[in-house]
Amino acid sequence: MNAILDAFAMVATTEVAIAVLASAVYGMVIGALPGLTATMATALLVPVTFYLSPIAAMATIITSSAMAIFSGDIPGALMRIPGTPASAAYTDEAYALTRKGQAELALGAALWFSAIGGIVGTVCLMVMAPALAEIALSFSTYEYFWLSFLGLMCATLVARSSPIKAIAAALLGLLVACVGIENPGGVPRFTFGSTDLLGGIEALPALVGVFAVSEIMRAMNSAPPPPIPNRRFGSILAGQWELTRRYQKQMWRGNVIGVLIGALPGAGADMAAWVAYATSKRFSKEREKFGTGHPEGLVESGAANNSALAGGWVPALLFGIPGDTITAIAIGVLYMKGLNPGPTLFTEKASSMYALYIIFILANLLMIPLGIMMIRASRQVLRAPRSAAMPLILLLCAVGAFAIGNNLFSVLLVAAFGVIGWIMERNGYPVAALVLGVVMGTMVEQNLVSSLIKSDGEILPFFERPVSSVLAVLTITALLWPAGVWALRRLQPAQAAR
């Protein structure tokens, strides 16, 4: 009990309060800008943390990343341009709600369920961190292969168009992921002698290109849509309680998906959001409504991506292994501040741990009022003429891409993917599947090849390990299920005819 009181004393200082508030606003703004990510927001905070106390330093990272993951939903809903990769999974859904005149519902759902997800994730972190870490540490490359392959198969589920086109788009994404030297063999592929291509094509330039730039190109190419009636935004949180009761199962399932995926090293909010949205669609009683502006998917994936953030801290705090890109950076700060990851952090420095938990909860509670203000400020976007808004967004895309590596090549990539995305959309290929291929492609290959090297080329080890065999069954079932359904449908008419 003394440790908890010490924790409250640590948190209740002016320095921590200012750190939380400032980084909350900072993360909210960074996340809302297309092209800038939660990871970037965290990375840019590192120099600032040099001058802060340990708790204040960690507070800035925890708060800004939670805010950024939520606020990435704002441009997605208002302009169909996701602010962060995690938001890309359900951008179409949120935007469709806005076009139906329900922007408040879309943004309110994103805000409300993000906050709930973050808090549930924190509670899981507090209660189950050691147990979750044990599970996470039993995952070798065999388990990761099946998991990333399963994630890749979400491509067909998140798409509205035909599964064939979704698979084709995902394969194109896999091809893009092949570029570069960072592959298990350590040999340059498709670099054509270019130094810039040695590093491969990162997911962010591809995502910004196919979503933001192609949307801008589409805007140039088409007549302005009928203006949405100029009315004051209603209450942001109206209807959220009803959604909570109506989609309680989806909310909890999203939280579970987020925490579990977040706890696995390497998998983060991005994968959690994609898997949660795909799960929501797969098991929904109203599948045909998905993509037309239906809040069910938003509830589940909004909860998943913020709970994944907290889940990502499980392996980071216990073993110093990054749960995602954000905690990879945070681990460096933890060491620098003397909060060395490991079990001793939970025993000898228990008060510091409790302080971090308190900040997690504070950050997610603070998200609600700040999110409401951000949403209200953003509604001007709906009224701004496109001829003014689109050039600004294009500029932000270029700035964001350049900021990744201070490299103009990223800006060229964004432009190239903008063209590719525009062509794909025009022909009915889902760009979300392309992004999924790029994001998951490296993971699938890395885990597949590493596993084959370890097993000396044998296939059997992929099925022998306990967790591996469960995941293998899930994956193969998911593969064969559509074929089974198709076969059954073929039998039905035959019986009817007879």
Partner 1 sequence: MSKMTRRGALAGAATLPFVRPALAQPRYPARPVQLIVPWGAGGGTDATARIVASLLERELGQPFNVVNRTGGSGVVGHSAIAQAAPDGYTIGMITVEICMMHWQGLTELKRTSYTPLALMNEDPPGVQVNASSPYRDIKALADAIKASRPGQFKASGTGQGGIWHLALAGWLGAMGLAADHVRWVPSNGAAPAMQDLAAGGVDIVTCSVPEARAIIEAGRARSLAIMAPQRNPQFAQVPTLNETLGINYSVGAWRGIAAPLNLPAPIAQQLTAALQKIWNSNEFKDFMNARGFGMVWGDAAGFAQHMERTDATLGAAMRSAGLVRG
Task: Tell me the closest approach of the beta carbon of residue 181 to partner 1, in angstroms.
Answer: 5
For partner 1, the closer of residues 286 and 464 by Cβ is: 464
Whole-angstrom distance, CA of residue 151 vs CA of residue 402: 29
Task: Tell me the closest approach of the beta carbon of residue 148 to partner 1, in angstroms.
Answer: 13
Task: Tell me the closest approach of the beta carbon of residue 418 to partner 1, in angstroms.
Answer: 20
Residue 141's nearest CA partner among 468, 470, 411 is 468
Task: Tell me the closest approach of the beta carbon of residue 415 to partner 1, in angstroms.
Answer: 17
Any residues with CB less than 8 A from the CB of 239 and at least 6 apart, and which?
A: 104, 105, 108
Task: Tell me the closest approach of the beta carbon of residue 193 to partner 1, in angstroms.
Answer: 10
For partner 1, the closer of residues 25 and 135 by Cβ is: 135
Task: Tell me the closest approach of the beta carbon of residue 450 to partner 1, in angstroms.
Answer: 5
Any residues with CB less than 8 A from the CB of 419 and at least 6 apart, and which?
A: 213, 214, 217
For partner 1, the closer of residues 79 and 321 by Cβ is: 321
For partner 1, the closer of residues 123 and 198 by Cβ is: 198
For partner 1, the closer of residues 107 and 328 by Cβ is: 328
Q: Give me the residues that bind partner 1 (CB under 8 A), please.
A: 42-44, 46-47, 50, 136-143, 181-182, 184-186, 188, 195-199, 265-266, 315, 318-322, 328-329, 332, 335-338, 340-344, 404-407, 409, 446, 449-450, 453-454, 456
Report the interhelical angle of 214-221 vs 408-426 (nearest 10°).
Answer: 50
Task: Tell me the closest approach of the beta carbon of residue 306 to partner 1, in angstroms.
Answer: 21
Contact 428/165 with Cβ under 8 angstroms? yes
For partner 1, the closer of residues 104 and 143 by Cβ is: 143
Task: Tell me the closest approach of the beta carbon of residue 219 to partner 1, in angstroms.
Answer: 31
For partner 1, the closer of residues 204 and 251 by Cβ is: 204
For partner 1, the closer of residues 343 and 484 by Cβ is: 343
